[in-house]
Structure 1
């Protein structure tokens, strides 16, 4: 019997720069790609939000569908399963005579707990669960310090990492794949199958944000081409021009951070434009930083008191003020404009996120964890470490306590939209 490896896809929905996939192809005679739509990801949370809202769910469905299309070009497919991985994987391993299971390790507690359960169940079947790390720009083994000694201050982390660590080259995209024979690969669920706690009838369509590796690579090329155009025309750079909006595809792993990094380094070498690309690289470093902080500190980022034992804790209220903030009906034009954009598109830039978080925490005096949970529901680029890490920082309970009290709403208003143009453009 040939060696068969089950490749469990999670937030790594791509063929390019995918070490897990490359290794599985190299070490097996056949692979069985699998994706699980876990119903727990679409439930109501303790903060009365939906864990994965309709816009996020649609982006996920599009991304899985695109990966399925890519596998079909190789003569195979990806097995679609609706249910909990720990319930379904042992049966799949037995049914298809799997000899090993590969997956990417996550850092948040819920995802880690699922991996642990799966590993224990597979161990009883004498099947190994092999872990890969493919979400960060830097691999943890390439950092100039062990996880326990990573600086809590981002500036120190950035300085030491950029000076002493290396970004590894990308893994080559597979040119052939041999698949396990499967009679029925499973149907992709509809949005209404997944989203049972939200009305999806009037969900706005999006031409700008469509999930999947195909669109992700196209968007990266467009961003790089825009940089080339600026370089050739000697156009001066404005800060707002540097927003790449690549984060949704990075969050689901449709786009590799190393692919972004090396493509930008190549363009930088050809055309200059270091300031143009530098903000994107810093953004990738922030993603790494928060993932490594979660690895170092665990669940502290999810606790209302965070790292500050004497923090004043607001209750997990969903009162009228909170409802108005969520709906974009606070009466503050810019905040309302940003929230309408979030609710319609599933995306707002980082400056907007800081603005609405600062308003919720310091103007409305409401619970930051409920705000973080609401953005978890809505953001198509949601990643646990970045979202909860950023919110804890704004609330003054993050791991870098020197930032406590550094978020001033009035100052943010003046810097963000001094003439009210943004709010007017969005019809607030």
Structure 2
């Protein structure tokens, strides 16, 4: 690779795969150094985990590949090259730093165990390179909140009330096109699904999430959902839907890999309220963004305890690992047709509604009394919009070892009657020939 003479800032992209409102990228572009980006398809995230599932299955992997393709194009428009490797960061970043005289590495501040282990391994190799860790995934920035992270409230409502009327949301970070100083030779290739050990597929015709990955698609969806169709104005009424693309915003997948930011969505809601109207639905979308923040703060506060069987409440329940029951749940062969329809939708599309997730998780943990971490690991593997904090936060919540003071159990039959009154959703996935 062609070597550069002047100091270079390296932006190490992880789950912040965007150019708009990317505080890490904006910071890296400030000091006049050359800027290059890097993304690693780390093989460890495509292995089979101890629960027997591939950590990243084909649905999320394809969405990620599309996202990186788009990120590369968006960065190129800013005169920034993106190097892409199918290798562990600790294997390739030291060589990139040597070849391009990298003096500083800019990364999103992540705190979960796998990310910290990778950073630690890399820092031991790069003792002369400065690392800049920047919080880049919150609605409410940790530097702005009015309590210590260690005192994050145990109950969401308390958390929300402490913030929403008293803490301002930051404006979006901006970045301008850089001058072309020394474009690098970049022969790296974005891997295919086959390269990652996965099979290619066609999106299911009944999928409620037929969207592609990437910042361009995320902003297109935002514009369509808010301003073209004005579906935002009905969000609170439709958000518990089960069939179709527009019962909910579907932003979660782009939020999960950072191809759109929570603050971008927030400020677009405010624009909608200014230009059109403000109602319960416009508020409720922000309410859901606050929930997302909450699970990140819970994760910051409790660390790896969110992955442990007794959860953050450290409750000692008896959990089963019955493989037959687990398989029946995965394959949609339980005694509940509502659970079955949702699980088949997940298996066939990599997507499930929020209402479905709550029901199948409650059934898994409270009805079958199976180790909730197995269900969480299956969701991690299959869901296009997997987010470590929301996934484990929600599973703990439903299993009774998290932030739910009421320790509720869903009556899946009553839920089906309420949210799928005429059986349209169940027929779609259990009797697809009817559609």
TM over 0.5, shorter chain = yes
1:222 aligns with: 224
Higher relative helix content: 1
2:57 aligns with: 53
Shift, 1:418, TM fit: 3.0
1:288 is the counterpart of 2:307: no
- Specify which of 208, 211, 229 is matched with residue 210 of structure 2: 208
- The CA distance in 2 between the partners of 1:280 and 1:224, in whole Å, is 11
1:3 is the counterpart of 2:7: yes
Residues 138-147 or 335-344, more deviating: 335-344
SS state at 2:124 partner: helix
Are 1:54 and 1:200, in contact at CA under 8 Å, matched by a contact in 2?
Answer: yes
2:416 aligns with: 413
Residues 105-114 or 304-313, more deviating: 304-313
1:24-423 alignment runs, 5 A limit: 24-122=28-126, 124=127, 126-176=128-178, 178=180, 181-194=183-196, 196=197, 198-200=198-200, 204=204, 208-226=210-228, 228=230, 238-239=238-239, 240=241, 243-317=248-322, 319-398=323-402, 400=403, 402-423=405-426
Residues 327-336 or 134-143, more deviating: 327-336
Shift, 1:401, TM fit: 5.1
- The CA distance in 2 between the partners of 1:169 and 1:191, in whole Å, is 37
- The CA distance in 2 between the partners of 1:176 and 1:270, in whole Å, is 33
**Alpha-carbon spacing, 1:40–1:250, altered in 2? closer, same or farther (3 Å):** same
- The CA distance in 2 between the partners of 1:81 and 1:229, in whole Å, is 39
- The CA distance in 1 between the partners of 2:51 and 2:79, in whole Å, is 44
1:425 is the counterpart of 2:428: yes
SS state at 1:193 partner: coil
Are 1:25 and 1:178, in contact at CA under 8 Å, matched by a contact in 2?
Answer: no
SS state at 1:268 partner: helix
Are 1:119 and 1:128, in contact at CA under 8 Å, matched by a contact in 2?
Answer: no
Are 2:256 and 2:385, in contact at CA under 8 Å, matched by a contact in 1?
Answer: yes
**Alpha-carbon spacing, 1:81–1:235, altered in 2? closer, same or farther (3 Å):** closer
Shift, 1:164, TM fit: 1.6
Are 1:32 and 1:180, in contact at CA under 8 Å, matched by a contact in 2?
Answer: no
Q: CA RMSD in A?
A: 2.4
Residues 166-175 or 295-304, more deviating: 166-175
Are 1:242 and 1:277, in contact at CA under 8 Å, matched by a contact in 2?
Answer: no
- The CA distance in 1 between the partners of 2:176 and 2:253, in whole Å, is 24
**Alpha-carbon spacing, 1:76–1:157, altered in 2? closer, same or farther (3 Å):** closer
Gapped regions of structure 2 (runs ≥ 5): none
Residues 75-84 or 386-395, more deviating: 75-84
